Structure 1
Amino acid sequence: MVHASLRAIGPVEEGAVGVVRALERAVGSTGTLLFLLGARDDLSWVNARPEPERADLLAAAAPFDKDATPADPEVGVLAEVFRQLPGTVVNDHPDARFGARGRQARALLAEPLPWDDYYGRGSILERFVRARGKVLRLGADSNTVTLLHLAENRVDLPTKRRVLRHHKVLTSSGTPRIRTVTCLDDTDGILDWPGEDYFTTILQDYLHHRAARLGTVGAAHSELIEAGDLLDHAVAWMHAHFSPD
């Protein structure tokens, strides 16, 4: 699973496509690449409005289409280039849309994904860990480790902040409809935390105490991390720091 900053990597022959091709050569014919795509949503502000107003505000919006809607700009240019390459497999969820290429692409994405709590039980993240995946960070911001959302779902806390969102989506028959999603708050966090984003703190703690392969790709400081080990560390860290005294 790749999180990458093209700016951090620097100039590459063929640009973003060249980076994807290099990654494909690195994992080989038996490997698989996975990217979080999400979805560009120019009406995301609607979900900050009172719930009874949202359906009307979305009535004239273009519906989410897994095959056509661009990736969320916040996940970076490389993810959108990856999405558009012929042969990339994508799943149908506006908040948890992933793209995959390679041997296990369909196995990771083909099974139905939970509509609610899409980063928890039965999620693509869970399948990724079960497949003994690795997280590759190529100069990415330290708070961009999507796998840690699975840790948020697994940690046992008395309360976690949840959100309700409305999306306009295409159904399997091609008819648009408005659906709701309920999930842990994966934007502002499952609880208030002082200082920097706790995803950053967890990653830095992991890199300080656990084993990761470190190196430089282009000009980008990079890490290759065993997903299962990072997940176990994150759950333990959350238990230690989030549990009430």
Structure 2
Amino acid sequence: MTREDLRAGLASLGVAAGDLVMVHASLRKLGLGRAAFGPGGAEALLDALDEAIGPDGTLMMVLGTDYPMDWVYDHPLEARAALLEGSPAFDYRNAPVLEEVGWLAEAFRRRPGTIVSDNPSGRFGARRRRAKRLMADQPWHDYYGPGSPLEKLCQWGGKILRLGANPDTVTALHYAEYLADLPDKKTVRWDYVVAGADGVARHVWIDCLDDAEGIVHCEGEDYFASILKAYLALGRHREGLVGSARAELIDAADIVAFGARWMERNLAAPA
């Protein structure tokens, strides 16, 4: 498989010059994992994506953070400041991505020209024309909600590109959780040490909807996967083959609006 093969697959799917695209991908399913492709699979895909959107397009990925002190979340809120005391300050530019997000996101973060947002929990990366505006002014609390890069993705006509990604992998649906009219949504607090403008390290925290376990207790399949399956059944997306993977190109605003309505119908407690 060559970069040209990937580029042809993306073009057939509908990825075009000037597009704003949020990417979720499995290198293994694309045939770009180390076992099948050798080293450089992530770079080959990112080269193809850069070429597909051109200089006027924008790529975006969710990064998260591999935070070595996240064991403090097993402790009560009132104990966390003392547990974090003396730990290194979070460095949003250089901290590795959340391990479960995968190597492609880490390669994207390291790629020259990628801009990274400064929120340790809701960290995104973006590159090309609208990257700075997309990453600017991300809320500290509720980092996936109003004012977030996810809201901008929807407002600016962005698309979600899924390349062999797991069915529960549609980060934009976290924005739908904020839009859904549901009572008693579960919330969570994340604690960090960050360096202030004066360089002094301080304990801080972030309040947001529970993006780890979900905004409501839900038995069975992850509800993001259920939403994606229901949405794809409508046929409002484009699909095809990129590399060795089944791929979908989805209008971000459309699936977010659909997801919010789905949550209201299916996650509300019985009257």
Deviations 1:178-212 (A, max 9, x none): 10111110000000111010000000100012411
Instruction: Verify: 1:177 aligned to 2:198, yes or no.
Output: no
Letter in 1 for 2:88: A
The equivalences for 1:1-245 within 5 A come to 1-11=22-32, 14-110=40-136, 112-244=137-269, 245=271
Instruction: Give me the TM-score of the superposition, normalised by structure 1.
Output: 0.96
Instruction: Give me the TM-score of the superposition, normalised by structure 2.
Output: 0.87
Letter in 2 for 1:88: T
Moved over 4 A (4+): none
Q: After TM superposition, give the deviation of residue 227 of structure 1 in Å.
A: 0.3
2:237–2:250 contact (8 Å) kept in structure 1: yes
Q: Distance in 1 between matches of 2:199 and 2:26?
A: 35
Q: Distance in 2 between matches of 1:86 and 1:15?
A: 17
Q: After TM superposition, give the deviation of residue 85 of structure 1 in Å.
A: 1.1
Structure 1 residue runs of 5 or longer lacking an equivalent are: none
Q: CA RMSD in A?
A: 1.3
Deviations 1:37-71 (A, max 9, x none): 11111221211211121111112322211111111
Q: Distance in 1 between matches of 2:197 and 2:53?
A: 33
Q: After TM superposition, give the deviation of residue 170 of structure 1 in Å.
A: 2.4
Deviations 1:92-117 (A, max 9, x none): 0001111101111011012x221111
Task: Describe the SS at the equivalent of 2:147.
Answer: coil
Q: Distance in 2 between matches of 1:6 and 1:200?
A: 20
